[in-house]
Each structure stands twice: as structure tokens, then as C-alpha cells.
Amino acid sequence: MPSRISQSILFLFFCLSGFAQKNSFNVTGVVTDTLGEPLIASTILLLEKQDSTMVEFTKSELSGEFIFRNIAPGNYLVKTTYIGYIPTTVDASAHDGKNINLGNIEMSELAEELMTVVIKAAKAPIKMRGDTIEYDATTFQVPEGSTVEDLLKRLPGIEVESDGSILADGKSVNKVTVDGKSFFGSSPQAATKNLPAEGIGKVQVFDTKSEQEEITGATSESTEKTMNLELKEEFKKGAFGKVIASVGTINRKELKGNFNKFNKKIQFSLVGVGNNTGRNGLSWDDYQDFMGAQAWNWGNNTDYGFGGGGFRTFSFGGSSSGIESSIRSVFFNRGGTQGFPENYNGGLNFNYDHNDNKLSAVYYYNQAGVAKDGSSSRERFFQNFTTKEDAINIGDDISYSHRAEVELSKEIDSLHFVKFSFNGAQINENKFSQEFTTLSEDGELRSTADVTNDINTQGVLGEGLLLLRKKFKKKGRSLGLNTSILYTELDEDWSQESSTTFVNEASSLDSLSLISQTNNNIRDKVQFKANALYVEPLSKKFFWQTFYNHSNRQETGDRVVNDMFQNELQLNEDLSRIYDNSIILNRVGSSIRYSHNGVNLSVGLAYQNFDLVGDFQGAEGSSVLGSVDKQFTNWVPNFSLNFEPFSNSYAGINFSRNAQEPRIEDLQPVVNNLNPQYIIVGNSALTPEISNDYEANLSKSYPLSGTRFNFRISYSSYDNQFSTNEEVDQFLVTTVQPINVDGGTNFEVNSGLSFPIVKNKLTTRLRLRVSDDNRVSFVNSVENNTRTISYSPYIRFNITPLDDIGIYLTANLNFRDTRYDINVSQNQKIRNESYSVEFSAKTIWDLLFSANLNYDRYNNDRFDLQRDIPVLDLSVSKPFLKKNRMEARLSLFDVFNQNVGFTSIDNFRSENRILGQYLLFSLTYNIRGVKSSAQKKGWH
């Protein structure tokens, strides 16, 4: 408080001293037009001469007169402004206390041309510099492909003669510069005739100064002018890209490159990757660089539903695999660690975006191969016995695919949007596997199987989508319509050789089954979809939303199975099938939504009908013949509430019921004998699975302290859950059939907390996930309830004491407690631990050292399992060349040579050989320069 008072006193003192100051003076004057007529109520500003800081302002009287009183001595300018006139500035400095009378200040009218063409029509600001006037050329519309000369012809005050010479304000322009630099020697026409007009931002015209004037600063009335053309920012942008090439021991190689060129309208990019290390190196950044403006897809969800507005849903990446996968999924594929990979992929992307028209086209080639070599074991528990399966497997998979996606969209006007897209793909895939399995019961051998499968698949895909969005004059009313058609054709050739032995209880060979089969399967699929969504505002806060979904999936298949018998192919009538089926879904739903000030509440109900129709028959002459014809109807309610209870916090409560129709192959009694010890048959009695999903969440952040907290709880209960019934025969051959069961539940809690211990230096993040899962299945007609309780705590420390040091410590634990109600003695507790230490430091000469240690430990007391897998990677890198355009890096992967693909889930364990220790030398060339950092990049 005292400081406030003293401030006020000080202020008062200055004011008083200002009034009382010696040598203070008055400035008077009259504002008139060029004819001497007074300009009434014009604004007059008193400015400090040094930097134009405003001291005072006033308005002129009816007579055009004005006065500034009691001005402290100093150097001033008086600036007069009046609508339609060029602001005029005159000097008004005084130090001796003499009043100044500026007399008549004559203001000249803005040229009509400048006023109407520049100010009104082009809405361009005009700048006065002495008596020259400058304005922004970007606002002048010229047809596409125009040259600067065409642009100049439109600018007021500039004339272009027939020979191309330029006059500005009647004076000839003898010099044209671009961004201040001389262009193509001294001929001004060279620039104006050749440069495209759309690249020009500003046109400035000023007096050409002679060499002498430049030095002395003296000015004289010049007869010649210089024109400077300032380029637009986006036209200065060119391209960026990089190439990384690596070679290593054990014949490891990597090559990766990308290149981008873009301006405001067009984006063009290339990417290519080849390696046999499995580190395909395509990161999130590469994805964003490649897809450009198409990286984030808004509104790609065309199956409308209860969601808010149904339009602005957001998706990225790809989930489906095989022929229906997308280009995006290549970038997010983190597979390939379970073997020896070899990958080649690359593509090009083109985006055009101008005047509400968008076109994007992308092509991608992907060749992915992986060779596997491993073993697995599985224990199974029955009421009165235990089985163990040991397998050795070898696999060699390779796939080649070409994909192209084209999308065209247009914003017809502010109310209408239309989009068309087409995707095409071709795939060729070969999967080879060899497996040797032994099955034993309570330690006694029951069966062995030696199986070789070789599957070759060729497929094509075509998919088209048309989408229309319409808004109405009435705010909030909207309509969305879309229709799509998908066609796929798969031709699968599969040969199987297997020999299975069965051992009886007396430990002697009971029987031997030899299978030598070829299998040709042609499958066609056509899926037609049509969706509609209509939103009607009931008031400013209430909306009524209605949607309709239609989907019609038609599948036909012709599977011909031949047995090789005495070197001759014989049709297997029982396994061969011709089938034809369709699933038609119709869903109509409606919801009422309240949306206001961060509170969004939606209550809705939908009615859906599945119609499943199928026919199947065996090969000619076979007695296998049947059909499936089922209708299912469900009511699906939906409730959702999202709100912001406090500042920077979000909370939500959601309930939904979801129905999932059975897969058609599960409905058909087709036998799958890919694994002769594990035979899968269909079940025509399957009904849709219904899940009731409840969810609640809360999150809050404290921006000042940097603390964040989130909590989520979810619970699902199932009716008619999809499960399996397994029948195990005396030789432990399992026949499995999909069935519906009741009583399955899933409960999950997720929570997280992150906060800085020392701001920007030491941050910690804690997470805990707890889940309780109850699953029902049948084994030899006995109900089996398996309950799995899992706790996963996680802790991480980010330590960044200096700019050039980054240390990241992580511990990720998983405790799993699995209980079997049919055989309590087999209950087991599993503990998987994963620790990691990542260390990076930048030292002298820009050398960057990195060490990453990943330590995985698997424990299962029930099987006396303890497995430790420490993997340490080291690397050192150094940038060089101008702008650090190159970087050399030497890496040593898996220093301890202990890396292995290991899995341990409940009663299943598998181990696959993967790449171990190797040394890799990499060179990077980056147009933009390599910027290595010891610290991880977070969100900007």
C-alpha cells in the first residue's frame, strides 16, 4: 500500500511540475484542405519527433483551429488526419518557451484511384514514406499464371509501356530488385516479364539513390525510381528430406530416405525403407511428413452412431490386417520382433489443397518378410489330468502388396461438402510353417504331430466411398449421407503334409494319420454400406439426433480339397465346400443431446436387426448340405455424460450396449484342420454377443505446478459371450467349437499421476492398472471359470539436469493371478518385470553418447520359471558438414547377446530366436541439418 501512495504522489509531482515547467509552450494551427477550406473535427496528434510516440491528441474546431497547451520543451511533430485525406505531418519543436503557430496545415485528398482501388476494393493498407506510397500486392487478384508485369498493370499509379518499361508516378523505373537483391542483371523487364505474380507479396517503389547519395545521405529530387518486389513467405520454402544408410556385422543393412516439397497449395513426398534389422525406422514424424495435411483424418468415421454430432470423429493408423489393411498401418506396424525380418517398402504422396478443393493421392509398396525359428510349450488343466504340449516351429512368411488411395473433396459452399474416395490394393502372400508337436498327459506321451503348411494367397481389393455433408441455414441442423462399396477377391492355394501318431495308454502306437492335402479356396466378398445422420436443434442447448446404418455383406466361397492318395489327387468330399452367405445389418437410432458450456449429455436408443443367411454344400456327390437362416434383433440403449467439474478437468460417465454378430465362418460347420491336433468346426447355433459397457473417468491438471492426474474405471458384462467348447479325446486331439456363454465379466481400473519434483529437471510419472477378468468356457462339457486378476504398476523418472543430459528410468511390473475353478491346484501367479535405463549425453565436439538398457524378468513359481533377458544398446554419433547436414553414428546392439523373443502368459510360454548382437555404422544426410538432442522430444 505505501508504494501505491508514493507512486501517486510521484505522479502528482510530475504532473504539477509539467504544468509549472519553465519554457512550456502552446501549439496552434488550422487544418484545411488544399483550397483553404477548414476541415472540421479532424484529429490532430502531438507526437515525439524521435520515435512518433503519441503525447496528446485533440480535434479541430468548426474553424479548423486546434490548440495543444503547456507542452514541455522538446522536439515534436504534429500529425493531422482526416477521412479521405493523406495524413500530414509538420514539425512543432520548441525549447525556448515560444508558442508555435503552425498556420494553415493543408491536407491533400487521397487520389480517387488509391481510395477506391487500393483501400476499398483490395483492402490493402497503404503506407506513406515521405511522398511515396507503398501497398501490398497480394490483395490484387490476377488470373493464375500471370506474370509480375500483368500484376503491375493493375496497380494504381503504375503504368507499363508497350515495350515493357515501367513508369511509377510518371517517373521511369530503372532498377527492379527482388527481396532487395538485383535480379537478372540490370534489365528491369527481365524480372517483371518472367516472375510469376502469385509469388509476389509486396511492391515497393522508391527513389533511386545515386552512389553519392547513399554515402552522404543527402537527398535530391530524383527522376528515377527503384522497384522492389518482396517474395511471399511460402514461396521461399523449398524442400526437406533425409537419407540414412547403415551397414553392420552379421550382414545387417538399413536404408531409409524421405523427401518433401511443398508450398501453400501442393505437397509432394516420397519415402523408402529397406532393412533386415526389423527396425523399419518409420516413426510418427515420418508418417506426418509423408501424409502431410492428410496425416490426421477428421470425419473418417462413416458409420454414424450416438457420438456427438457424428461428424467430427477422429482416427489415424489402421487396425485391420491382410488385404483390408491400409497404407497407414505400415507406419504403425511394430511387429517383426519375433524372428528375422527383411522389409522393403516405400511410396509417394501428393496433396493438393486450394480454394476449398482437395485432392490427395498416395501409392505404397510394401514387402515384408520374416523368418521364425522357435519353440513353445503349453500346459492345460482338466478336472482329473494335466496335459503338456511342446512344439518346435519354423516359419517363413513373405508378403508383397501394392496399395493406392485417392481422395477428392470439395467444399461447394459454406453449407455443402462432398467427398469421393477410391482405394485399390493387390496382395501376394506366402506363409510357410513347419511344426513338430508332442502332446502328453500327466507326463505320458499321447500324440506327436509333424505338420508342414504352405499357403499362398493372392488378393485384390477395390473400395469406393461417396460422402455428402449438408448444413442448413438454421444453425445446428445438419445432414450426413454416405455410401460405400467394398469388393475383395482372395485366391488361396494351400498344401498340407502332416503325420500324426497316437499313442495308447499302454504306451504303444495306436494309430498313425497321414495327411497330404491340397486346398484351393476362392473367396469373394462384396460389402455395401449406406449411412445417414440428421441433427435437428431443439433449442440452443438441446439437439435431436437420428441415424440409420445399413450394411449388406455378401460372401461366396469355393473350397476344393484334394487328398494325395497313391500319387493321385482325390477330391475330399467332406472337406470341400461351396458356400454363399450374407449378413444384412439395419440399425436405426435416435438420441437427445444437451450441449452447453462444457456439459454434454446424451441419452439414446437404437434398434438393430441382423439377418444372416447362408447356404453350403460339399463337393458334388457329397451328402453335406445345409443352410443357415437367422434373424437377430436387439435394442441398444446409450448414455453418455461429459463435463468439466473444475477448471482444467474432465469427467465422464458412459454406458452403452453393443451387439456383435457372429463371424460367418464360425456359423458354418466347415472343418479347419490346419493343426491336426486342434481341429476347429463351426456352429450354426451361434447368436450375437451382447456386452453392457459401463465407464467413468476423471482427469485434472494443475498448469502452474505441472501436476496431472487421471482415473478411469470400466466394467463390462456379457450375455451370449463368444467362447469355446473343447472336446479332448483320448489322444488329446482337441476339437473346438465356438459357442455362446453367460457370466463373463471384465473390470478395469486405470490411474495415473505425474508431477515435477524439480521443475524441468526431475519429473515422475506413476501409473497403476488393475483388472479382474472372468471368462467362462467349456472343456469336455464341463463349465470352466477362469478368473484372472492383474496388477500393473509403472513408475518413470525423467531426469534432465542440464540441456545436454537426459536420463530416463522406468519400471513396469505385471502381477497376474490366475485361478481355475475346475482345478484349483493349478492356480498360478506370474510376475513379469521390465526395467529400463536410457541415458544420453552430449559432450565435446557435439558427440552424443547413448546407452539403453532394457532388463526383462519373467517369473512363474508354478513352473519354477525365472528368465532374465538383459538387452543393452550403445551408440555414439557426431554431426558434421555445414549446418550439420551429415551425421555419423556407430551403434552396438545387444551388447550381452542375450536377446530373445520370449512370451509368458498363464500356462503358455514361447521362445523365438531373434537378432542378437550386431554392430551398425550409419550415415545420415539431412537437408535441414541433423539436430541431435540428449533429451526426448515431448509434445511441443
Partner 1 sequence: MLLLVMPMHAQQNIEGVITFNRKQNYISIMSKLPHITQEDVDRMSLTWGKMGDGANYELYLQNNKSVYLRKEEQSENGYSWKKDQFVLIRDYDSKSQEDLIETLGKVYHIKEDLPKTKWKILNEIKEIEGYLCMKAETKNVIKGQTIHAWFTDAIPMSGGPEGYGGLPGMILEIDINNQDAVITATKVLLNQEEIKVPYPKKIKGKKIDRLSYNEMVKKYIDETIEGKKNPYWRVRY
Binding to partner 1, residues 595-614 (CB under 8 A):
595-600
Could you say which of 29, 79, 527, 873 contacts partner 1 (CB under 8 A)? 79
Strands 707-719 and 297-298: unpaired
Whether the CB-CB separation of 885 and 929 falls below 8 Å is answered with yes
Site membership for partner 1, residue 824 (CB under 8 A): no
Contacts to partner 1 from residues 701-720, by CB under 8 A: 701-704, 706
Euclidean distance between CA atoms 733 and 671, whole angstroms: 14
Find the shortest distance in angstroms from Cβ 222 to partner 1.
20
Site membership for partner 1, residue 443 (CB under 8 A): no
Site membership for partner 1, residue 236 (CB under 8 A): no
Site membership for partner 1, residue 53 (CB under 8 A): yes
Strands 782-799 and 805-820: antiparallel
Find the shortest distance in angstroms from Cβ 597 to partner 1.
6
* Nearest-10 Cα torsion for 246, 247, 251, 256: 20
Site membership for partner 1, residue 327 (CB under 8 A): no
Find the shortest distance in angstroms from Cβ 543 to partner 1.
6
Could you say which of 26, 28, 81, 377 contacts partner 1 (CB under 8 A)? 81
Euclidean distance between CA atoms 204 and 127, whole angstroms: 10
Site membership for partner 1, residue 540 (CB under 8 A): yes
Find the shortest distance in angstroms from Cβ 157 to partner 1.
16
Residue 911 grid cell: 521362445
Euclidean distance between CA atoms 429 and 516, whole angstroms: 22
Phi-psi region of 23 (alpha: psi -120 to 50; beta: other; left: phi over 0): left
Q: Which stretch binds partner 1 (CB under 8 A): 475-483, 512-520, 564-572, 573-581?
A: 475-483
Contacts to partner 1 from residues 370-409, by CB under 8 A: none
Q: Which residue has the cell 526389423?
A: 278
Of residues 74 and 743, the one with the C-beta less far from partner 1 = 74
Of residues 181 and 475, the one with the C-beta less far from partner 1 = 475
Find the shortest distance in angstroms from Cβ 1 to partner 1.
11
Residues whose CB falls within 8 Å of the CB of residue 905, separated by 6 or more in sequence, listed in order: 830
Site membership for partner 1, residue 240 (CB under 8 A): yes
Site membership for partner 1, residue 41 (CB under 8 A): yes
∠ CA(332), CA(337), CA(338), 5° rounding? 130
Find the shortest distance in angstroms from Cβ 84 to partner 1.
6
Site membership for partner 1, residue 98 (CB under 8 A): no
Q: Which stretch binds partner 1 (CB under 8 A): 448-456, 539-547, 613-621, 666-674?
A: 539-547
Surface-to-core class of residue 581, CB atoms within 10 Å of its CB (0-12 exposed, 13-18 middle, 19+ buried): buried
Of residues 112 and 729, the one with the C-beta less far from partner 1 = 112
Whether the CB-CB separation of 306 and 604 falls below 8 Å is answered with yes
Find the shortest distance in angstroms from Cβ 594 to partner 1.
9
Of residues 41 and 250, the one with the C-beta less far from partner 1 = 41
Residue 446 grid cell: 499321447
Find the shortest distance in angstroms from Cβ 494 to partner 1.
43
∠ CA(689), CA(693), CA(697), 5° rounding? 160
Find the shortest distance in angstroms from Cβ 717 to partner 1.
29
Find the shortest distance in angstroms from Cβ 750 to partner 1.
23
Of residues 464 and 476, the one with the C-beta less far from partner 1 = 476
Site string for partner 1, 661-700 (x = CB under 8 A): ----------------------------------------
The DSSP output letter for 108 is P
Q: Which stretch binds partner 1 (CB under 8 A): 181-189, 473-481, 556-564, 902-910?
A: 473-481
Of residues 48 and 450, the one with the C-beta less far from partner 1 = 48
Residues whose CB falls within 8 Å of the CB of residue 76, separated by 6 or more in sequence, listed in order: 27, 46, 47, 48, 49, 55, 91, 92, 93
- Residue-by-residue DSSP string for 25-40: EEEEEEEEETTS-B-T
Find the shortest distance in angstroms from Cβ 904 to partner 1.
38
Could you say which of 262, 340, 579, 610 contacts partner 1 (CB under 8 A)? 262
Query: One-letter amino acid identity for 804?
Result: D
Please choose, from the candidates 607, 608, 615, the residue with its C-alpha nearest in 3D space to the C-alpha of residue 554: 615
Site membership for partner 1, residue 759 (CB under 8 A): yes
Please choose, from the candidates 878, 873, 892, 875, the residue with its C-alpha nearest in 3D space to the C-alpha of residue 843: 878
Query: One-letter amino acid identity for 639?
Result: F
Of residues 95 and 931, the one with the C-beta less far from partner 1 = 931
Residue 519 grid cell: 486346398
The DSSP output letter for 661 is P
Q: How far apart are the first and last CA of the chain?
A: 41
Of residues 65 and 285, the one with the C-beta less far from partner 1 = 285
Going from the C-alpha of 500 to that of each of 506, 516, 678, the distances in angstroms are: 18, 12, 12
Site membership for partner 1, residue 569 (CB under 8 A): no
Could you say which of 17, 101, 116, 249 contacts partner 1 (CB under 8 A)? 116
Site membership for partner 1, residue 120 (CB under 8 A): yes
- Residue-by-residue DSSP string for 544-593: EEEEEEEEEEEEEEEEEEEEEETTEEEE-TTT-EEEEEEEEEEEEEEEEE
Site string for partner 1, 129-148 (x = CB under 8 A): x-------------------
Site string for partner 1, 869-908 (x = CB under 8 A): ----------------------------------------
Q: Which stretch binds partner 1 (CB under 8 A): 124-132, 201-209, 220-228, 487-495?
A: 124-132
Whether the CB-CB separation of 474 and 455 falls below 8 Å is answered with no
Find the shortest distance in angstroms from Cβ 643 to partner 1.
8
Q: Which stretch binds partner 1 (CB under 8 A): 209-217, 291-299, 455-463, 720-728?
A: 291-299
Find the shortest distance in angstroms from Cβ 126 to partner 1.
6
Please state the separation of Cα 749 from the chain's center in Å.
Answer: 27
Euclidean distance between CA atoms 44 and 28, whole angstroms: 11
The DSSP output letter for 324 is G
Please choose, from the candidates 278, 15, 406, the residue with its C-alpha nearest in 3D space to the C-alpha of residue 899: 278
Site membership for partner 1, residue 123 (CB under 8 A): yes
